[in-house]
Amino acid sequence: MNQPANATPTAQAKPAIGSLRTLWPFVSRHRGLFAGWLVALACSSAATLTLPKAFGTMIDQGFAQGGGAAIDRAFLLLFAVAVALALATAARFFFVSLLGEKVVADLRERLYAHLVGLDLGFHDRNRSGELVSRLTADAELLRSVIGSTMSVALRSVVTFLGSLAMLFVTSPRLATFALLGIPLAVLPIVLGARRLQKISRANQDRVADANALAAETLGAVATVQAHAREPYERGRFASALQVAVATARRRIQAQAWVTAIAIVLVFGAITLVLWSGAHDVASGRMTAGTLGQFVLYALIGGGSVGALAEVWNELQRAAGGMGRISELLEETPAITAPASPATLPSPVRGDIVLDRVTFHYPQRPDAPALEDFSLHVRPGETVALVGPSGAGKSTVFSVLLRFHDPQAGQVRVDGVDLRQLDPRTLRDTIALVPQHPTIFATTARDNIRYGRLDATDAEVDAAVKAAHAADFVAALPEGLDTQLGERGARLSGGQQQRIAIARALLKDAPILLLDEATSALDAQSERAVQEALETLMQGRTTLVVAHRLATVLKADRIVVMDHGRIVAEGRHEQLLAQGGLYAELARLQFID
């Protein structure tokens, strides 16, 4: 059903590092930080690899020669190397952490910018909670990967290669022993890693499932509580978490085993080598300082392999996350502007034609929401759409806003096919007042200004007045600057509608799509909303999904819809006289 789950097999087939490669364009944008990191890495690795040498020298010369000055010099050298190591490590941490932050911010920005522009068909298929989880959990994972894991991985590779080289310099014979042992450790890591990638992806999918569930129910907490379904939802969330933990457990177990086996093999090899080295020292073939130096290089080398084994698993996890983010970034919007978009006449007259439109939602190919639907709305005309639930009234709006393209037929505004227009040009000419207006968690002023971002305060005030909202806005604690709370929690239904009407007034578009609220308002609120709507409709081509008698009485024409088709058209009295569906609906909906 949802896209990421469908796409799982392809992403799993990709090698892990392959997915991470898509990060490169984001990293390369911050060349300075990246270069700084590499330089600091080179310095800190060099310092790390110098330490054992300094240590060996200290043992052999400082102790052996017994001179106080030699001891001082040897220890001073050791301390100098440690200071260099400290500074380089701090610089490396600084560069790579900042790089991680910046890359993830860029990635989030890109992903959000992309998601917000994808067509509604995509958003119907994908739960918003899951998309948010991509933006948060997966992006967060990548932050830790760039900010630390990748750093550790590269450092471990460099240190491993460096210590290997130094092992050979120190004692070629012992180093050969070590070299034979280490590949034995790498094999199980590689095998384990493959399995891990699969498991970690499943794990992230389950986490996303749980997040989506929480986002959905917290977003509809009033419905949950109204049904007293808190225990039910708690149970659902708890089981979703249990599933997530169960898959996490499999991942952690596999990871634990890979780490344990790697460490046993690496340190097993080192012990073996040491044992042989101890015999060399005993028989005088090697100095104690050289063996000490060798031991330190072996520990550093072995440690880097262990670190690599651990971060390798992290990298696999991040690759899963990046794979999923890439999938989303690769989604192409189904609704796009043509290469050279047509223009609308200026000013737009607002002439709307739906010409033999057939449309079905992608998920329901068998059930057309509009079938051979033809309607002409003349400039300035008010047409009321009525019909039983599911008749396709809202779909007419969706098609007009070009949220979806019809499979057959044409939709035209002022004679121009919508497909030839940039969707933004089209949507600039349309104001939508939905049944349940969206109120954002910001001030009343910003909510109204959403209709036209550059509107002046005076224009906002005028819109508030025209929307009959001045009284209740003035009564808010800080007037227009009052925070309305998430989804307008502080406003009544009628007040939310008037905010939406003010927003539409500010937009001042030639075409108005109005979905009347079905919920009953108190008489006073009802009259205020009605008057506000009349102001809004003046001089605009208006399509209204009508739920009120006043609206159908005032409409120039009523279009009766059923099963995606027009079944009757006319004025209220004519249609009533005809009987049929309209008379039935009118009796139920409009006339008490």
Ligand X SMILES: Nc1ncnc2c1ncn2[C@@H]1O[C@H](COP(=O)(O)OP(=O)(O)OP(=O)(O)O)[C@@H](O)[C@H]1O
- Binding footprint of ligand X on the chain (CB under 6 A): 124, 361, 363-364, 369, 387, 389-395
Whole-number Å distance between alpha carbons of 137 and 153 = 22
User: CB-wise, 287 or 398, nearer to ligand X?
Assistant: 398
Nearest-approach distance from CB 487 to ligand X, in angstroms: 19
Look at the block and give the residue holding tokens 């037929």.
Answer: 409
Whole-number Å distance between alpha carbons of 591 and 577 = 15
Helix (H) or strand (E) holding 130: helix 128-133
**181, 268 in Cβ contact below 8 A?**
yes
Tell which residue, 371, 377, 459, has the closest CA to residue 408.
Answer: 371
Nearest-approach distance from CB 368 to ligand X, in angstroms: 8
Q: How many helices (H) and strands (E) does the chain have?
A: 25, 10
DSSP state of 480: G
Please work out, in degrees rounded to the nearest 5, the angle formed at the alpha carbon of residue 401 by the alpha carbons of 400 and 405.
Answer: 70
Nearest-approach distance from CB 466 to ligand X, in angstroms: 27
Strands 511-515 and 541-545: parallel
User: CB-wise, 162 or 392, nearer to ligand X?
Assistant: 392
Strands 416-417 and 408-413: antiparallel
Nearest-approach distance from CB 318 to ligand X, in angstroms: 34
Whole-number Å distance between alpha carbons of 235 and 241 = 10
**Which segments of 295-391 are extended strands (E)?**
352-359, 370-377, 382-386
User: CB-wise, 383 or 455, nearer to ligand X?
Assistant: 383
Helix, strand and coil in the chain, % to nearest 5: 70, 10, 20
Secondary structure (3-state) at 244 = helix
**573, 377 in Cβ contact below 8 A?**
no
Size (the chain), residues: 592
Tell which residue, 310, 295, 316, 294, has the closest CA to residue 156.
Answer: 310
Nearest-approach distance from CB 380 to ligand X, in angstroms: 24
Nearest-approach distance from CB 590 to ligand X, in angstroms: 14
Whole-number Å distance between alpha carbons of 390 and 108 = 37
DSSP state of 483: B
User: CB-wise, 359 or 450, nearer to ligand X?
Assistant: 359
User: CB-wise, 100 or 387, nearer to ligand X?
Assistant: 387
Nearest-approach distance from CB 403 to ligand X, in angstroms: 9
Nearest-approach distance from CB 370 to ligand X, in angstroms: 8
Nearest-approach distance from CB 546 to ligand X, in angstroms: 10
User: CB-wise, 366 or 573, nearer to ligand X?
Assistant: 366
Whole-number Å distance between alpha carbons of 376 and 379 = 10
Nearest-approach distance from CB 510 to ligand X, in angstroms: 23
